[in-house]
């Protein structure tokens, strides 16, 4: 896919996610700040592009499990990229049926908050986008993810909250933080190693905030107009010390050892 085609697809994906958020909000949903504007929704487009880049040339041996898929926004973007993905979560979101764009997306739901209803070695990769830090048993969940992955299967751990994030500190002071636990690069790698994963790549993102939780819709609309500039500057600031250490999230590609 050429650069212009990727740009067009990215723009179309952003428009799709924002429409989905608008549909859910019109039905009464109050949990759509993560994709109701282009700056926030760009996180999911970026996630889908990353995962899809690993799917060519037989690099994955089996489908991808979108673990804790939520509304299924990343699953939908992966399907649009021709990626075989299975969407899974515990507990149905109340507004999924009110989002027309998700009418053809099948989500499997489980009841156990740790155990997964799949055979060992069933998946070539598992994807966690802002999920692992919210589960009741992080250790147990990582053991289950390891179990269902094929040998050398990949774990994409994205949007994992950074303990040193300046935005997280502000959210804590304003009592608006939604992350019960936070991590450092070292503690993230150690956590994964303890459960049989070898960190292949670790980086930081979102030095510049995306969701703008608690701010007025007018501010979000203004900020969203500059999402391309936000994305460009963030790639620079999130990889340049010392600002990189203050970025909002850690992201990892890890391989089952």
Tell me the pLDDT tens digit for each residue of 87-117: 999 988 777 888 898 888 999 999 999 999 9
Side-chain-side CA neighbours of residue 238 (13 Å): 22
Q: How far apart are CA 112 and CA 146, in angstroms?
A: 17
pLDDT in tens, 185-195: 999 999 999 99
pLDDT band at 157 (very low <50, low <70, confident <90, very high): very high
The pLDDT, as a whole number, for residue 216 is: 82
Q: Number of structural domains, the chain?
A: 1
For residue 132, is pLDDT > 80?
A: yes
- The tokens for 136 are 């009741």
- CA-CA distance, 234 to 247, in Å (whole number)? 9
Query: So what's the pLDDT on residue 2?
Result: 59
Q: What is the pLDDT of residue 4?
A: 53
Q: Is the pLDDT of residue 164 over 60?
A: yes
Alpha-helical runs (H) found in the chain: 3-26, 38-53, 73-80, 138-148, 166-173, 185-194, 217-224, 227-237
Local confidence band at 206 (pLDDT 50, 70, 90 cut-offs):
very high
Residue 76 is part of a domain; what is its CATH number? 3.40.50.150
pLDDT at 122 > cutoff 60: yes
Count Cβ neighbours within 10 Å for each residue of 196-208 and write b for 16 or more, e otherwise. Answer: bbebeebebbbbb
Q: Answer yes or no: is pLDDT of 137 > 80.
A: yes
pLDDT confidence tier of residue 78, bands split at 50, 70 and 90: very high
64-67 sheet: strands from edge to edge:
107-110, 85-90, 64-67, 123-129, 149-161, 249-256, 197-205
**6 has pLDDT over 70:** no
Domain extent for 250: 3-256
């Amino acid at each position: 896919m050429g650069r212009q085609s990727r740009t067009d697809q990215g723009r179309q994906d952003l428009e799709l996610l924002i429409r989905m958020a608008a549909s859910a909000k019109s039905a009464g949903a109050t949990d759509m700040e993560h994709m109701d504007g282009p700056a926030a929704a760009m996180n999911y487009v970026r996630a889908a592009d990353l995962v899809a880049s690993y799917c060519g040339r037989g690099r994955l041996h089996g489908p991808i499990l979108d673990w804790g898929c939520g509304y299924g926004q990343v699953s939908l973007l992966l399907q649009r990229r021709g990626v075989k993905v299975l969407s899974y979560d515990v507990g149905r979101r109340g507004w999924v049926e009110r989002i027309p764009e998700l009418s053809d997306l099948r989500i499997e739901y489980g009841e156990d908050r740790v155990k997964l209803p799949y055979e060992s070695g069933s998946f070539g990769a598992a994807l966690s986008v802002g999920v692992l830090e919210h589960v009741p048993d992080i250790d147990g969940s990582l053991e289950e993810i390891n179990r269902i992955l094929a040998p050398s299967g990949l774990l994409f751990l994205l949007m994992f909250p950074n303990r040193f994030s300046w935005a997280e500190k502000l959210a804590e002071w304003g009592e608006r933080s939604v992350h019960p636990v936070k991590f450092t690069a070292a503690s993230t790698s150690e956590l994964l190693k303890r459960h049989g994963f070898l960190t292949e790549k670790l980086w930081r993102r979102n030095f510049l905030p995306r969701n703008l939780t608690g701010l007025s819709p007018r501010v979000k609309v203004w900020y969203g107009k500059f999402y391309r500039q936000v994305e460009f500057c963030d790639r620079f600031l999130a990889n340049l010390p010392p600002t990189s250490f203050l970025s909002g999230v850690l992201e990892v590609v890890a391989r089952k050892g």
